[in-house]
Amino acid sequence: MAKNHSAAQLTGSWRTEIGALDTYVHLWRYKNYSDFSQVNETLKKDAQHEAFNKQICSYINRRENQVCLSFTFWGEPPVRDANHIYEMRSYSLKPGTLIEWGNNW
């Protein structure tokens, strides 16, 4: 996908070993929502991508997408080699508390 869509950059790809096993995570970076939308619209019309999806779907139990924004004060994450352990977290915040939560962080 990265070869055909310069707006999408594969930033990370790994499988989980703790928690939900047999889970694979692919982290794609887009500059903005327009790039994200453009890539997804292009993929919907891509016959090779559709054929791959049909082939791989027999092996998949569940798929999920998330669009996430990083906090500007954390800056850009550095590129790292493959020998790292990552912890993925999600937070559910009360509406209207994002800035307060970010400042406390």
Tokens 């991508």 correspond to 49
Residue of 56, 62, 2 lying closest to 29 (CA atoms): 2
- CB–CB of 93/101 below 8 Å? yes
Sheet strands (E) in the chain: 9-15, 24-29
Region 36-50: mean pLDDT is: 90
d(CA 27, CA 12): 5
- According to the model, what pLDDT value does residue 1 have? 64
- In this prediction, residue 71 carries a pLDDT of 67
- Block residue for tokens 């794609």: 28
Express each pLDDT in 70-101 by its tens digit: 766 667 767 777 777 777 777 788 998 888 88
